[in-house]
Amino acid sequence: MYSPGAASTALQTPRRAKISCRNLWKVYGPGAANLTTRLRDVPAGDSFIQGLRDAGNVIAAADVSFDVHVGEIFVIMGLSGSGKSTVVRCLSRLVEPDHGQVILDGEDLLQASRKQLVDIRRHKMGMVFQSFGLLPHLTVAENIGFPLRLQGVSNRVRSARVHEVIELVGLEGREHAYPSELSGGQQQRVGIARSLAVEPQLWFLDEPFSALDPLIRKQMQNEFLRLQTMLRKTIVFITHDFLEALRLADRIAIMKDGRIIQVGSPSEIVLRPLSDYVRKFTADVPLSHVVSAGDLLEPYDGALPAIELDDLATPLLEILGHFATNPQGIGLKNAAGEMLGQLRPARVFEVLAQSADKDKWELN
């Protein structure tokens, strides 16, 4: 379940934002027309939002702000109707925001002309949605090469790129098959390959696996993580499945009623939920697989024996054995001998005792 990138993100120095949204609003109803004018004079708080609703407006996104760092998987999650899909469509301007900014590489996309926006989508963005959207009259290779054809890429270059991504997603031998001849998982791979064909800098995925059965879904999550290890794309991933978010995310944004409730790494979300709403999402989470050694690290006081640890994202369960011979705790150092911090058994066992899978291990 645990994504190795998730815990390590919190330990890194600040990273450059690839795309950011600032005070983003999307309102359906009469309130959208003068929203910017009203926001100049009125705080965008609960009473303002309730006033919009009372006037018959539907608020799909309310004052949404976050950064997506270069090379990270940023998961936006929430229940149906929370606004997560609207936000990701606002990031690409498939839906036009009513107020705010969407900043890509330092430039506000909301100021881009239609022609500039088309060029950005074709060359910088890749998109994968829940419905595969394959063209039924085209083969696998033709579907994958379709966006390159729209770009005017030559047949020779297009063919080479299609072959490359077919191999990347494991569809060798199916190049000449039609969508109706493919399984659901294979169709999803075609959709992923098509979005990768243009070599996007930014990848939007809106519940891409939710239409798949559980076994195929797990396989596609594995495939997705494998691709990310190789490609290091900047990814905005939408899901309503918290376990999927925990498995894939470097950071998670939880939405409710169009608003961001909390943003943090998977371990931050489960260890320090900011509201009862977030706490309900974490109730059945196996913390022993989500929380890592780095999440519970304290400054080293020099008194504890030290062990070498290659990765602070190591799950807690892999640390427990060291407490049998070091009941007071352990220090952690890297391969260069630099001290990283220390772990105390009391804090580790406190977290594990809250885990939904605590019956799988024992305190001795």
Helix/strand/coil (H/E/C) assignment for every residue in 39-67: HHHCCCCHHHHHHHHHCCCEEEEEEEEEE
Domain parsing of the chain, residue ranges: 4-284, 289-360
Specify the pLDDT at position 69.
Answer: 96
**Cβ pair 250, 52 in contact under 8 A:** no
Query: Once rounded to an integer, what is the mean pLDDT over residues 225-249?
Result: 90
11 has a pLDDT exceeding 60: no
Task: Count CB neighbours of 120 within 10 A.
Answer: 19
The residue behind tokens 């900047």 is: 234
pLDDT, mean of residues 204-210 = 88
Burial code (b: 16+ CB inside 10 Å, e: under 16) for 264-279 equals bbbbbbbbebeeeebe
Task: Looking at the structure, give the CATH architecture of the domain made up of residues 289-360.
Answer: Alpha-Beta Complex (3.90)
Side-chain-side CA neighbours of 231 within 13 Å: the count stands at 22
DSSP state of 298: B
pTM over 0.85: no
What the block records as the tokens of 82 is: 């929370």
pLDDT number for residue 283:
76
Amino acid identity for residue 6 in this structure: A
Give residue 168's identity as a one-letter amino acid code.
L
Range from 210-214, 228-232, 289-293, 352-356 carrying the lowest mean pLDDT: 352-356
For residue range 102-115, list pLDDT tens digits in order: 999 999 999 999 99
For the segment 259-318, what is each residue's pLDDT rounded down to a tens digit?
999 999 988 898 889 999 998 887 777 776 678 888 889 999 988 999 988 888 787 778
Number of other residues whose CB lies within 10 A of the CB of residue 126? 21
**Residue 263 — φ and ψ, nearest 5°?**
-125, 135
DSSP secondary structure code for residue 315 in this structure: B
Q: Does domain 4-284 have CATH number 2.40.50.140?
A: no
3-state class percentages of the chain: helix first, strand second, coil last, to nearest 5: 45, 20, 35
Q: What is the pLDDT of residue 8?
A: 38
Q: How far apart are CA 66 and CA 17, in angstroms?
A: 10
More confident residue, 21 or 132: 21
pLDDT tens, position by position, 155-184: 999 999 999 989 888 889 999 999 999 988
